[in-house]
Amino acid sequence: MSSKDSYYIPSKATWPAVGTVGLVILLAGFANHLNGSSIGNPMMIMGFVIFIIMLAGWFSLQAFESESGMYNHQVGISYRLGMMWFIFSEIMFFAVFFGSLWYTRNLSVPWLGGEGTGAATKELLWPAFEATWPTNGPAHVGGEFEPMGAWGLPFLNTLILLSSGVTCTWAHHGLLANNRDQLIKGLIATVTLGVLFVMFQASEYHEAYTEMGLTLGSGIYGSTFFMLTGFHGLHVCIGAIFLMVVLFRSWKGHFKPENHFAFEAAAWYWHFVDVVWLGLFVFVYIM
């Protein structure tokens, strides 16, 4: 039976159990840390290290198996389906925070200001509150702050992420045309732009905390701003690391024009991160 006709079934897997142990130690450590227990931090570090070892081990195994031609076309489709639906779950995760922003801006803050059936609420609870956006609520939680403008660093970051989408596609064209030089250059450019984005984002956060009085605790504006941009920034980091792994593998000569799932997955993920940013730029920064 040729490998094309038979199914591929791995016999056993040790990395999932290792990853579970790492993840549970990491989270239990974080919970202990939040509860003010001193064993929290060492547990978090230990769990994180185990988790990273798992990722490295599992990815190496997959890369090795892929390069030794163990995956047939059908396995490739399974992986693509898996990645596609994983990204869909991520979209739903971001939808929660976008939805919360929409709900507070369009419904709950106006109600708090007396709109619609909220007249009694306003009179009884906070008669002085005027519904505006941005707001940190009737109790001015977190004190005075200055909202983040759209046309400075955020606009630059928009251009950076959009260009990184272009360089990523350029790298893909290189891979498809068997042009390894273009593939590697494109990936280096994409990763560099990603890192640049994160650095600008960090400096924006620094400015918000030190000069603008804008923190995670600045009422609902601060909460939605930092949650949305923060989770996005985290995803940019994950995507950039993913691309770095792909870059490293490209250097080692991995991937063929007809077989490069890891590259495709990383590129899909990068474009997803890109699109989320466009949503952020419009709904968080501009509007």
Partner 1 sequence: MSAVVAEHDEHEHHDHGPMKGWLRWIITTNHKDIGTLYLVFSLAMFFVGGAMAMVIRAELFEPGMQFVEPQFFNSMTTMHALVMVFGAVMPAFVGLANWMIPLMIGAPDMALPRMNNMSFWLLVAGVLLLASTLFMEGGAPAGGWTLYPPLVLQTGKALPFAIFSVHLLGVSSIMGAINIIATIFNMRAPAMTLMKMPLFVWTWLITAFLLIAIMPVFAGAVTMLLTDRFFNTSFFDAAGGGDPVLYQHIFWFFGHPEVYVMILPTFGVASTIIPVFARKPLFGYSSMVYATASIAFLSFIVWAHHMFTVGMPIAGELYFMYATMLIAIPTGVKVFNWTATMWKGAMTFETPMLFSISFVVLFTLGGFTGLMMSIAPVDFQYHDTYFIVAHFHYTLVPASIFILMAAGYYWLPKWTGNMYNEKIGQLHFWLSVISVNILFFPQHFLGLAGMPRRIPDYAIQFADWNMISSIGGFIFGLSQLLFLYIVIDTIRGGTGEKVTDEVWEEASKHGLEWTLPSPPPYHTFTTPPVIVPSEHH
What are the backbone angles phi and psi of residue 79, rounded to the nearest 5°?
Answer: -65, -40
By CB under 8 A, is residue 78 in contact with partner 1? yes
Place of tokens 């941009």: 229
- DSSP 3-state of 134: coil
Number of residues that bind partner 1 (CB under 8 A): 70
By CB under 8 A, is residue 45 in contact with partner 1? no
Of 69 and 217, which CB lies nearer to partner 1 in the complex structure?
Answer: 217
Query: 115 is written with which tokens?
Result: 């709109």
Rounded Cα gap, residues 152 and 286, in angstroms: 11
Of 10 and 149, which CB lies nearer to partner 1 in the complex structure?
Answer: 10
Of 91 and 199, which CB lies nearer to partner 1 in the complex structure?
Answer: 91
Q: Could you tell me how many residues make up the chain?
A: 287
Of 65 and 207, which CB lies nearer to partner 1 in the complex structure?
Answer: 65
Rounded Cα gap, residues 123 and 243, in angstroms: 54
Rounded Cα gap, residues 197 and 208, in angstroms: 16
Of 24 and 212, which CB lies nearer to partner 1 in the complex structure?
Answer: 24
Rounded Cα gap, residues 97 and 106, in angstroms: 14
Q: How far is the CB of 124 from partner 1 (least distance, A)?
A: 12
Rounded Cα gap, residues 251 and 61, in angstroms: 18
Rounded Cα gap, residues 274 and 280, in angstroms: 10
Interface residue with partner 1 among 99, 143, 149, 257 (CB under 8 A) is 99
Say whether the peptide bond before residue 134 is cis (omega within 30 degrees of 0). yes
By CB under 8 A, is residue 66 in contact with partner 1? no
- DSSP 3-state of 256: strand
Q: How far is the CB of 43 from partner 1 (least distance, A)?
A: 12
By CB under 8 A, is residue 108 in contact with partner 1? yes
Q: How far is the CB of 199 from partner 1 (least distance, A)?
A: 23
By CB under 8 A, is residue 139 in contact with partner 1? yes
Residues forming the site for partner 1 (CB under 8 A): 1, 5-7, 9-17, 19-20, 23-24, 27-28, 30-31, 34-35, 58, 74, 77-79, 81-82, 85-86, 88-90, 92-93, 95-97, 99-100, 103-104, 107-109, 111-112, 116-117, 125, 135-139, 141-142, 215-217, 219-224, 226-227
